[in-house]
Amino acid sequence: MADPATVSPGTGTVSSGTGSDTVSPDSGARSPADRDAGTAISPEPGTHSPTRPDTRTAAATPDPAPSVRPAHPAHPAHPDTRDADADVVFGRLRAHQSAKLALTGRFAGRGAVETGAQGARVQLSDGRSMLDFGSYAVTLLGHRHPGVTAAVRRQLDVMPTSTRSLANPVTAAAAECLAAYFGGVLPKVYFGLNGSDAVEVSVKLARLASGRDRVLAVNGGFHGKTLGALALTHSPLFRAGLRGCAVDVTHIDAADPGAVAREAARGDVAAVVFEPVQGENGARPIAPEVLRRWTRDARAHGVFAVADEIQCGLRRCGERSVALAEGLAVDAVLVGKPLGGGVVPLSAVVCTPQLYAPLAADPFLHSATFGGHPLSCAALPAALTAIEERAAHGAGLATAIEAGLRTLAARHSRLVRGVTGRGLLWGVDFAVPHAAGEVVVELASAGLVVSPCLSRPTTVRLLPSLATTHAQLAEALGILDGALTLAGSAVTV
Ligand SMILES: Cc1ncc(COP(=O)(O)O)c(C=O)c1O
């Protein structure tokens, strides 16, 4: 599908043909006022504030009861992460969050913690760096894209928070920008902060607008962990200990083209929600002909079709929207993760007036204190502009990673069952779960961050960013080749 909206590079402006707003121009320059006032906008790497407390003091002694410590300069509430002491961090995580979180973090960083990042690389507290092919799809633009950080910084200095009584121009412009990005075919926008927000709002709207309650979701699908979104998520792993969730959901199979027509015939289905490419399920595309049949049948039965592209959309899989590019008749596209440029949290339901009708009639039917947060919305035009600027590079990377992974799969065929994916979302599927585990261990040691698939433990997910150079991709594939070789000699299949 042609991309009808044009994003003007370098200006943060997306033109819809119906007018354009210049929001947060894409420039990292500090204003003279900032310089005159000596405002600390972004400390240069390696510079140390003389007043910054030294967290290393805290590391010298064990951490017997961190929870009762006062927040004084030796134990600051907001330590400068550039010289974080890993053991202090793990101690705090154990004391105040979860011992398992501390353990998995220690394992992923081989005892070090993340302290900084730029582009495709993450710096660690022990001086090493790792290539980031993970971050659960958030850092599509890499870390700290300068256009996005400049836009957010500017908003921070002007008005980061909305009164929510007065109208906010940054939020309004972001909504126009996002609708234009999808060609104006889905003109209504609801902003949330997390993907789960967008999933829940789309389901709530579908139920209200249709007067029906049941929702169809897909086997293997992942839509979040808040109770409503969790009802749609397929794997029982994420529902352990809960006796059901609040939404009446029927899961259908991606190999069953007639499922929507059959279920919808009962007359109680409000929506069908699907990921065109299932991310958490191992980067598995659903066959376009099945999606075409489902969405056609949904429309025929008055069922809203919702494409959850929180992971696969915004060019992660090549297209602005996979569903729209396939020509599917969807009522909503859900986006999140990289929507805030990998810098701030932001998600959205982008939908038809029919689905949005309950909110158009009563905007307070669903709202949240931080919905449409100006700081997050300021990032959106800069993020979409940057994604478009890097789209051609992304297509080249996509071709290269697919070819590289297929070569590795053939070379290590005893261990690797296959590779699946699209664009910059790939899964390497192993013959047995412990092979995947062994490879993740080796990758962590050799300096490659990946995202495991919790509900499909045989698959290791690779999510390179648009900031990745071809040399970095070759480096990552070399690391993976080495890990597969080591695992191959250690693992019995
Ligand atoms: C397709 C999809 N939908 C929804 C979600 C939930 O998003 P969040 O974790 O931001 O709530 C995710 C998260 O991984 C996702 O991949």
One domain for residues 248 and 324: yes
One domain for residues 151 and 99: no
Q: Which residues of the chain have pLDDT under 50?
A: 1-77
Residue 104 is assigned to a structural domain of this protein: yes
Ligand 1 center–CA 467 separation, angstroms: 22
Q: Which residue has the tokens 């905007």?
A: 363
Residue 430, pLDDT score: 96
Residue 59 is assigned to a structural domain of this protein: no
Domain finish residue from 340, 366, 389 = 389
One domain for residues 375 and 423: no
Q: Indicate which CATH number applies to the domain containing 309.
A: 3.40.640.10
Whether residue 281 has its Cβ less than 6 Å from ligand 1: no
Residue 40 is assigned to a structural domain of this protein: no
Residue 243, pLDDT score: 73
Ligand 1 pocket test, candidate residues 234, 274, 311, most atoms within 8 A of CB: 311
Domain finish residue from 330, 361, 389 = 389
One domain for residues 300 and 223: yes
Ligand 1 pocket test, candidate residues 202, 203, 222, 344, most atoms within 8 A of CB: 222
One domain for residues 352 and 408: no
Whether residue 308 has its Cβ less than 6 Å from ligand 1: yes
Residue 461 is assigned to a structural domain of this protein: yes
Residue 53, pLDDT score: 34
Whether residue 224 has its Cβ less than 6 Å from ligand 1: yes
One domain for residues 358 and 220: yes
Whether residue 194 has its Cβ less than 6 Å from ligand 1: yes
E strand or H helix that includes residue 172? helix 169-181
Return the SS3 of 353. helix
One domain for residues 401 and 383: no
Whether residue 200 has its Cβ less than 6 Å from ligand 1: no
Report the b/e string of 153-172 with b at 16+ CB within 10 A: bbbeeeeeebeeeeebebbe
Residue 26 is assigned to a structural domain of this protein: no
Q: Indicate which CATH number applies to the domain containing 491.
A: 3.90.1150.10
Residue 64, pLDDT score: 35
Residue 158, pLDDT score: 97
Residue 361 is assigned to a structural domain of this protein: yes
Domain finish residue from 367, 389, 411 = 389
Residue 8, pLDDT score: 37
Tell me: the pLDDT tens digits for 284-330?
999 999 999 999 999 999 999 999 999 999 999 999 999 999 999 99
Ligand 1 center–CA 222 separation, angstroms: 7
One domain for residues 344 and 493: no
One domain for residues 275 and 193: yes
| In contact, 311 and 451? CB cutoff 8 Å | no
Number of domains present in the structure of the chain: 2
Residue 267, pLDDT score: 97
Look up the domain containing 451 and give its range: 81-141+390-493
Q: What is the pTM of this model?
A: 0.85
Ligand 1 center–CA 279 separation, angstroms: 9
One domain for residues 204 and 273: yes
Q: In the chain, count of helices (H) and strands (E)?
A: 16, 19
d(CA 317, CA 279): 10
Residue 17 is assigned to a structural domain of this protein: no
Whether residue 203 has its Cβ less than 6 Å from ligand 1: no
One domain for residues 377 and 467: no
Tell me: the pLDDT tens digits for 357-414?
999 999 999 999 999 999 999 999 999 999 999 999 999 999 999 999 999 999 999 9
Whether residue 459 has its Cβ less than 6 Å from ligand 1: no
Q: What ranges in 301-331 are assigned the alpha helix state H?
A: 322-325
One domain for residues 359 and 394: no
Residue 26, pLDDT score: 31
d(CA 125, CA 114): 6
Tell me: the pLDDT tens digits for 80-99?
665 689 999 999 999 999 99
Residue 13 is assigned to a structural domain of this protein: no
d(CA 471, CA 493): 32
E strand or H helix that includes residue 147? helix 146-158
